[in-house]
Amino acid sequence: MSTERKKVTVPELKEMKARGEKIAELTAYDYSTALLVDRAGVDVILVGDSLAMTVMGLDTTVPVTMEEMLHHTRAVTRAVERCLVVGDLPFLSYQASREEAVRNAGRFLKEAGADAVKLEGGRNMVDTVKAIVDAGIPVQAHIGLTPQYVAQLGGFKVQGKSEEAAQKLIEDALALEAAGAMSIVLECVPGSVAAVITKELAIPTIGIGAGPECDGQVLVYHDMVGLFERFVPKFVKQYANIKGEIMRAVGEYVKEVKEGAFPEEKHTFK
């Protein structure tokens, strides 16, 4: 019996939606984490610009650079056998011009080994999405709460709560699908609105704080395993508290070093 693990592809994600199979997406930013996430059965790894906060300690995602994103994406793709890897285009790497957007998106595939890229924005990004897709690069779109635009949005707030705002999100999603997006992340959107968008689209919706009717879900790895404590969004479920176990292990190591209990003879070369 073959033990080969089939690589997840862009067409496969659309097939998963068609047959009602949920898509599991999760962030990863380094080789070791990506190895575990890939082996655990996740379908899509997002090398998110959220690393600005979870890995680099910044207050927002805005300052992270293309070079930093490529660096982390390369580390992830070295580990992955099965997951489809999406590189997150950082702020101002795609907004200035379509030509620059295509060039930077291409770098994720050419230099970092990613399978696709993600960018934020609705109808304002339709021409950019089309240009990137026309260059042969799959695009995961992202609407609702778009962290790169947090200054414009006035903070991390739920989007699409009014009838007018909900309709705008629906129209954004349809326009992005028409432009060639392979999937759309819906962040901090009322579940009822996300359900309508999911039903309207032939491409998968990936929810984060958008309810259970989406075709898949994505969470930030550090949130899910309890490694990031600055704030925990309402939509996060913590499946483990790795922070506590790490602190216990490190504390035990410090104690044994101080007491001379480590290293023992079995840890010493002769």
Active-site residue set: 187
User: Which residue, among 9, 150, 177, has the nearest Cα to 85 in the 3D structure?
Assistant: 9
Instruction: Please give the full DSSP string across 140-189, using - where no structure is assigned.
Output: EEEEES-GGGHHHHTSS-----SHHHHHHHHHHHHHHHHHT-SEEEEES-
**Under a CB-based contact definition with an 8 Å cutoff, are residues 81 and 45 in contact?**
no
**Under a CB-based contact definition with an 8 Å cutoff, are residues 130 and 40 in contact?**
no
**Under a CB-based contact definition with an 8 Å cutoff, are residues 140 and 185 in contact?**
yes
Q: CA 94 to CA 161: how far, in whole Å?
A: 28
HEC string of 187-199? ECCCHHHHHHHHH
Q: CA 179 to CA 157: how far, in whole Å?
A: 27
